[in-house]
Amino acid sequence: MLGVLRAAFGQVIARPRLVVAVYVVNVLLAIPLVVAMESVLADSIGDGIYQESVRATLDGAWYSEHTGRYDTGLGSTFTPSSVLGPGAMLDNLDAWLEGKLVAVDPSVFGMVLLWAFAWLGLQGAVLERFVHGGAAGPSSFAAAALRHLGRMLQAAAIGLLAYGMLWSLVGDWVKGIDNASIDVTSEVTMLWRLAPAFVLLVLGFHLVRLVIDYTKVAAVRERSGFVLPALVRALSMIARRPLLAVLGYLVPGLLIAAWMGVWLLVAPGGASSSWVSLILTVALTQLFIIGRLVLRLFQLATAVQVYGVAADG
Amino acid sequence: MLTWRNIQSTSTAELSFHLYWNAWRNDQSTWLREDWMRGRGHWTGKKVPDDAWAWQQVDSFRVGGDELPWRYIAPDDGNEDDRTVFHVDLPRAVSPGEEIEVEIDFRSKVPRTFARVGFRGDYVFAAHWFPKLGVFTDDGWVTPQFHSATEFFSDYGRYDVALTVPAGWTVGATGRLVAIEEQGETATHRFEQNDVHGFAWTASPDFISIERRFERPGLPEVDVRLLVQPDHLAQADRLFDASFAALESYGTWYGPYPYDYMTVVDPAYGSRTGGMEYPTFYTCGTRLSNPLGSGSPEGVTIHEAGHQFWYGVVGSNEFDHAWIDEGFNTFSTSRTEWVHYGPVYYSKRYFDPPGKSFGGFWRRLFPGLEWHAPTALRRRGRLSRSDSLTSDALAVPTWKHLPHEVGNLSYSKTALWLTTLERWLGWEKLQRGMSIAYRRGAYRAPTPEELFAALEEGAERDLDAFFDHVYYRSALFDYAVEKAGSRSVVPKGFIEQDDGELGLSKPDDDAEPMYRTDVVVRRHGDGVFPVDILLVYTDGNEERVAWDGEDRWHWIVREGPAKLERVVIDPDRVLLLDLDWRNNSRLMKGDRFAARAWAARWAGWVQDLFLTVGGFL
Cβ distance B368 to A174 less than 8 Å, yes or no, reads: no
**pLDDT value at position B115?**
87
pLDDT at A270 over 70: yes
Alpha-carbon gap, residue A270 to B256, rounded angstroms: 41
User: Which of B351, B377, B602 comes nearest A34 by C-beta?
Assistant: B602
DSSP secondary structure letters along B234-257: GGHHHHHHHHHHHHHHHHHHT---
Cβ distance B617 to A178 less than 8 Å, yes or no, reads: no
Provide φ and ψ at A238, rounded to 5°. -65, -40
Alpha-carbon gap, residue A50 to B581, rounded angstroms: 9
Alpha-carbon gap, residue B228 to A232, rounded angstroms: 56
Question: B188: burial class by Cβ within 10 Å (0-12, 13-18, 19+)?
Answer: middle
SS3 A186: coil
Alpha helices in B460-573 (DSSP H): 464-467
Neighbours of B41 (CB within 10 A): 12
> Between β-strands B281-283 and B261-265, what pairing exists: parallel, antiparallel or unpaired?
parallel
Alpha-carbon gap, residue A271 to B353, rounded angstroms: 32
**Cα dihedral angle (B214, B219, B221, B224), rounded to 10 degrees?**
-40
**pLDDT by residue (tens digit) across B43-90?**
555 667 889 999 999 999 999 899 999 999 999 999 999 999 999 999
Min Cα–Cα distance to chain B from A135, Å = 26
Min Cα–Cα distance to chain B from A219, Å = 15
Name the amino acid, one letter, at B448.
Answer: P
Q: Which of B172, B277, B262 is nearest to B213 (CA)?
A: B262
N residues, chain B: 617
Cβ distance A115 to B582 less than 8 Å, yes or no, reads: no
Cα A150 versus chain centre, distance = 21
Provide φ and ψ at B82, rounded to 5°. -80, 135
Cα B41 versus chain centre, distance = 21
Provide φ and ψ at B277, rounded to 5°. -110, 140
Q: Could you tell me if A249 lies within 8 Å of chain B, comparing CB atoms? A: no
Chain B neighbors of A94, CB-CB under 8 A: 350-352, 360
**Which residues have C-beta within 8 Å of that of residue B121, sequence separation ≥ 6?**
A183, A184, A185, B268
**pLDDT value at position B45?**
54
User: Which of the four pLDDT bands, split at 50, 70 and 90, describes residue A44?
Assistant: very high
User: Which of A30, A71, A170 comes nearest B606 by C-beta?
Assistant: A30
Q: Which residue of B has its CA nearest to A100?
A: B354
Cis ω on the peptide bond leading into residue B267 (within 30° of 0)? no
**pLDDT by residue (tens digit) across B178-215?**
999 999 999 999 999 999 999 999 999 999 999 999 99
Chain B neighbors of A169, CB-CB under 8 A: none
Q: Which of B287, B371, B606, B613 to mutate to probe the A interface, most A CBs <10 Å?
A: B606
**pLDDT value at position B372?**
65
Min Cα–Cα distance to chain A from B373, Å = 10
User: Which of A51, A97, A160 comes nearest B587 by C-beta?
Assistant: A51
Q: Which of B388, B403, B290, B284 is nearest to B333 (CA)?
A: B284
User: Which of A71, A87, A188 comes nearest B288 by C-beta?
Assistant: A188
**Which residues have C-beta within 8 Å of that of residue A14, sequence separation ≥ 6?**
none
This prediction has a pTM of 0.94
What DSSP state is assigned to residue B410?
I
CB contacts under 8 A, A 108-147 vs B, are 108, 111-112, 115-116, 119-120, 123
Q: Could you tell me if A55 lies within 8 Å of chain B, comparing CB atoms? A: yes
User: Which of the four pLDDT bands, split at 50, 70 and 90, describes residue A104?
Assistant: confident
Contact B214, B244 (CB under 8 A): yes
Q: Which of A64, A193, A200 to mutate to probe the B interface, most B CBs <10 Å?
A: A64
User: Which of A38, A68, A80 comes nearest B596 by C-beta?
Assistant: A38
Cα separations in angstroms, B10 against A110, B63, B75, B230 = 72, 20, 21, 52
Min Cα–Cα distance to chain B from A299, Å = 12
Min Cα–Cα distance to chain A from B29, Å = 24
Alpha-carbon gap, residue A159 to A154, rounded angstroms: 9
Dihedral sign for Cα B436, B440, B446, B447, please.
Answer: negative
Average pLDDT estimate for A209-220: 96
Q: Could you tell me if A288 lies within 8 Å of chain B, comparing CB atoms? A: yes
Q: Could you tell me if B609 lies within 8 Å of chain A, comparing CB atoms? A: yes
Min Cα–Cα distance to chain B from A243, Å = 22
Alpha-carbon gap, residue B20 to A232, rounded angstroms: 64
Chain A neighbors of B370, CB-CB under 8 A: 57, 60
Cα B159 versus chain centre, distance = 27
Min Cα–Cα distance to chain A from B170, Å = 15
Contact B396, B385 (CB under 8 A): no
Instruction: For chain B, list residues with pLDDT below 50.
Output: none
**pLDDT value at position A159?**
96
**pLDDT value at position B498?**
83
Q: Could you tell me if A167 lies within 8 Å of chain B, comparing CB atoms? A: yes
Cβ distance B616 to A156 less than 8 Å, yes or no, reads: yes
Alpha-carbon gap, residue A226 to B452, rounded angstroms: 79
Min Cα–Cα distance to chain A from B273, Å = 12
Chain B neighbors of A52, CB-CB under 8 A: 587, 594
Alpha-carbon gap, residue A216 to A237, rounded angstroms: 13
Cβ distance B385 to A190 less than 8 Å, yes or no, reads: no
Q: Which of A120, A289, A116, A117 is nearest to A213 (CA)?
A: A120
Alpha-carbon gap, residue B10 to B93, rounded angstroms: 10
Alpha-carbon gap, residue A78 to A198, rounded angstroms: 28
Q: Which strand ranges, in their side-by-side order, compose the sheet holding B515-523?
A: B479-488, B515-523, B553-560
Q: Long-range contacts of range B377-381, CB-CB < 8 Å, 24 or more positions apart? A: B377/A60, B377/A61, B377/A64, B378/A60, B378/A64, B379/A64, B379/B330, B379/B411, B379/B412, B379/B415, B379/B416, B380/A61, B380/A64, B380/A65, B380/A68, B380/B412, B380/B416, B380/B576, B380/B579, B381/A63, B381/A64, B381/A65, B381/A67, B381/A68
Alpha-carbon gap, residue B32 to B146, rounded angstroms: 10
Alpha-carbon gap, residue B608 to B598, rounded angstroms: 16
Q: Could you tell me if B483 lies within 8 Å of chain A, comparing CB atoms? A: no
